[in-house]
Amino acid sequence: MSVSSGASTYMLFRIQKEKGRTPLSDIAAIIEKTGGDIVGIDVISSDHTGTIHDIAVNVFDQAHSQLISESLQKLDGVKIIHVSDRTFLAHLGGKIEIASKISVKNRDDLSRVYTPGVAGICTAIAEQPSKAYSLTIKRNTIAVVTDGTAVLGLGDIGPLAAMPVMEGKAMLFKQFADVDAFPICLDMKDPDEMVRTIKALAPAFGGINLEDISAPRCFEIEERLKRELDIPVFHDDQHGTAVALLAGLLNALKITGKQMSEIKVVVNGIGAAGIACSKMLLSAGVKNLIGVDRNGALHRNAHYDNPYWTEFAQITNPNVETGNLSEVIKNADVFIGVSAPNILKVDDVRSMAKDPIVFAMANPIPEIDPELAKPYVKVLATGRSDGHNQINNVLCFPGIFRGALDCRASEINEAMKLAAAQAIASVVTDDELSETYIIPSVFNQEVVKKVRDAVIEAAYRTGVAQKSMRDASYG
Ligand SMILES: NC(=O)C1=CN([C@@H]2O[C@H](COP(=O)(O)OP(=O)(O)OC[C@H]3O[C@@H](n4cnc5c(N)ncnc54)[C@H](O)[C@@H]3O)[C@@H](O)[C@H]2O)C=CC1
Ligand SMILES: CC(=O)C(=O)O
Ligand SMILES: [Mg+2]
């Protein structure tokens, strides 16, 4: 399973063809001869020396694409400039844009949306800051903020390389929940500087979605921002993941007939997602939960420099089990992976209790190849979009922020997260529930609706909603 696998068999070959050498018909014939299906040929540019063409070809897989490239390279006067797949093409020029709600056609329009008209609006907000919610984009706009230090499972690849993920999150906010979100990739790592910077950016936004910030820095950054800002701050990799995970587990346990309080759960990867998922499971009633990281199981008799691990070890692993993943996974009912690719072995799965549940959620490559795990598990889920049972925070963040914005919640609290998890789980009815359908698709329109309503209800119940119920179109 490769990082780019599973997206498409459509490839675009950009080639430079020198004038008077191999004719285009021969180039097409070579592609067809390898089994490539040409679906389009475009001329990109042409001059007295030759022509640049884009040739769109349906291929079987990467190896087939490579074969076509090698065949083309052998042709006289033909040079391959680059080969792109559909995933790369979808990213050309980025994935989102800003659009105006009003068109400015004449001076009259201009003087209303810009100076001098806009000055009166600015003054109104200066006199009464809450008017920013009705007169600017603040009420519907979220900052998706990263420093690029824990991007998916790719690690610290930096803020620039993190952009495609943040644009993707922004896109999903808009598509699924009509929330306007903007990617902000900060070139800094110091938590103090990050807190200061995010606070300085906050006036333009109705909420802050922290993304892919490495642990343990992410905990301090989120805690401080929550304390110091009056808008919701939500670290997606912690809480969005935990919400989606709990939703999946609530339904998976219905299939295996086991109770939260009785199961043994092993969480592999005690970083941002792992700590939040564990805490959510503990508050949902799990008693025997063991966290495992690179050096094996975390337990209360060990010393950790990381204070979050010290706290974690105190509240988990009641039987003080020690050893590596293969040792502590024996007789576990549930494996939760939020760590690294391919670290769970088939023998580990086989050593689990009857009807094991395996949620291998590392992205883009899960802890175990689903094909290897399938014969030995009762319920299997991954974080990926190309298989069944996708447990991914995209099930949570659009709806939870939709709800928080609609009732103008000052924070996203535990009750709102629990309500979101139950709402996601409830989308799958008992009649529909099966091993391969424990969690609704992100495309199921019920998800955002149910999460929004449940989150708003919990926000009013816990006193963090700042809008009247009527204005929030709720209740
Ligand atoms: N499906 C989903 O919705 C989500 C999946 N994830 C995935 O979970 C993984 C972790 O993400 P974060 O918690 O944000 O990163 P993080 O960097 O905060 O934590 C990762 C943890 O995994 C540990 N780890 C790495 N290799 C390990 C190994 N071989 N064995 C045991 N532990 C190991 C690290 O030491 C670290 O403590 C990533 O692959 C990410 O893509 C994260 C958030 C959401
Ligand atoms: C899904 C997500 O947020 C992650 O893998 O980091
Ligand atoms: Mg993430």
Q: What is the end-to-end Cα distance of the chain in Å, rounded?
A: 47
pLDDT band at residue 8 under the 50/70/90 scheme: very low
pLDDT at site 5: 42
**Statement: residue 6 has pLDDT above 60:** no
Substitution candidate for ligand 2 out of 3, 145, 152 with most atoms within 8 A of CB? 152
pLDDT at site 61: 87
Residue with the larger pLDDT of the pair 86 and 181: 181
pLDDT at site 464: 97
In the sheet that 296-297 helps form, which strands lie side by side, from edge to edge? 296-297, 288-293, 264-268, 334-337, 357-360, 379-382
* Residue 121 CB less than 6 A away from ligand 2: no
Q: Summarize pLDDT for 143-200 with one digit per residue, the tens.
A: 999 999 999 989 999 999 999 999 999 999 999 999 999 999 999 999 999 999 999 9
The CATH number of domain 244-475, selected from 3.40.50.880, 3.40.50.720, 3.20.20.70, 3.40.309.10 = 3.40.50.720
- Residue 458 CB-half CA count within 13 A: 22
pLDDT band at residue 74 under the 50/70/90 scheme: very high
pLDDT band at residue 384 under the 50/70/90 scheme: confident
Q: Do residues 85 and 11 make contact, with C-beta atoms less than 8 angstroms apart? A: yes
Query: 441-451 burial, b if ≥16 CB within 10 A, otherwise e?
Result: bbeeeebbebb
In the chain, which segments carry CATH 3.40.50.720?
244-475
Which protein residue's CA is at the shortest distance from atom 38 of ligand 1? 153
pLDDT band at residue 1 under the 50/70/90 scheme: very low
> What span, in angstroms and rounded, lies between the C-alpha atoms of 240 and 398?
10
> What span, in angstroms and rounded, lies between the C-alpha atoms of 326 and 343?
10
Query: 179-188 burial, b if ≥16 CB within 10 A, otherwise e?
Result: bbbbbbbbee
Substitution candidate for ligand 2 out of 393, 400, 439 with most atoms within 8 A of CB? 393
pLDDT at site 234: 98
Q: Do residues 355 and 256 make contact, with C-beta atoms less than 8 angstroms apart? A: yes
Least confident span in 77-91, 208-222, 391-405: 77-91
Which protein residue's CA is at the shortest distance from atom 2 of ligand 2? 152
Substitution candidate for ligand 1 out of 339, 342, 390 with most atoms within 8 A of CB? 339
Mean pLDDT for 253-273 is: 97
**Site of tokens 């209360």:** 300
- Positions of E strands within 269-332: 288-293, 296-297
pLDDT at site 251: 98
Whether ipTM > 0.90 holds is yes
Cα angle: 249, vertex 251, 253; to 5 degrees? 65
pLDDT at site 472: 80
pLDDT at site 3: 40
Q: 10-90: which CATH architecture?
A: 2-Layer Sandwich (3.30)
Mean pLDDT for 104-111 is: 96
> Is 169 a catalytic site residue?
yes
Q: 346 is written with which tokens?
A: 């088939």
Element (DSSP H or E) covering residue 16: strand 10-18
Helix (H, G, I), strand (E, B) or coil at 159: helix
Calculate how far, in angstroms, residue 151's C-alpha sits from the geometric centre of ligand 2: 7
Helix (H, G, I), strand (E, B) or coil at 427: helix
Identified catalytic residue from 169, 226, 264, 467: 169
> Letter for the amino acid at 303?
H
Neighbours of 143 (CB within 10 A): 23
> Is 10 a catalytic site residue?
no
pLDDT band at residue 471 under the 50/70/90 scheme: confident
Calculate how far, in angstroms, residue 97's C-alpha sits from the geometric centre of ligand 3: 21
Burial class, 116, CB count within 10 angstroms (exposed 0-12 / middle 13-18 / buried 19+) = exposed
Angle between helix 446-461 and 414-427 (nearest 10): 150
Question: Is position 393 annotated in a ligand binding site?
Answer: no
Question: Is position 70 annotated in a ligand binding site?
Answer: no
Mean pLDDT for 8-19 is: 89
Going by the DSSP 8-state scheme, the letter that residue 95 receives in this structure is S
pLDDT at site 87: 85
Question: What CATH number labels 107-231?
Answer: 3.40.50.10380
In the chain, which segments carry CATH 3.30.70.260?
10-90
Cα angle: 407, vertex 409, 413; to 5 degrees? 130
Calculate how far, in angstroms, residue 42's C-alpha sits from the geometric centre of ligand 1: 43
Q: Considering the chain, what percentage of its residues have pLDDT values greater than 90?
A: 92
Q: Summarize pLDDT for 278-328 with one digit per residue, the tens.
A: 999 999 999 999 999 999 999 999 999 999 999 999 999 999 999 999 999
Q: Which atom of ligand 2 is nearest to the CA of 362?
A: 5
Mean pLDDT for 413-438 is: 97
Going by the DSSP 8-state scheme, the letter that residue 155 receives in this structure is B
Q: What are phi and psi of 422, to 5 degrees?
A: -65, -35
Calculate how far, in angstroms, residue 106's C-alpha sits from the geometric centre of ligand 2: 45
Maximum C-alpha span of the chain: 78
Q: Which atom of ligand 2 is nearest to the CA of 169?
A: 3
Q: Considering the chain, what percentage of its residues have pLDDT values greater than 70?
A: 98
In the chain, which segments carry CATH 3.40.50.10380?
107-231
> What span, in angstroms and rounded, lies between the C-alpha atoms of 336 and 276?
12
Calculate how far, in angstroms, residue 364's C-alpha sits from the geometric centre of ligand 2: 8
> What span, in angstroms and rounded, lies between the C-alpha atoms of 442 and 429?
16
Q: 465 is written with which tokens?
A: 């909603």
**Site of tokens 């990050």:** 194
pLDDT at site 2: 40
pLDDT at site 475: 64
> Number of helices and strands (H, E) in the chain?
18, 14
Q: Do residues 397 and 236 make contact, with C-beta atoms less than 8 angstroms apart? A: yes
Calculate the average pLDDT of the chain.
95
Cα 457 to Cα 91, 141, 423, distances in angstroms: 38, 21, 11
Q: Which atom of ligand 1 is nearest to the CA of 383?
A: 1
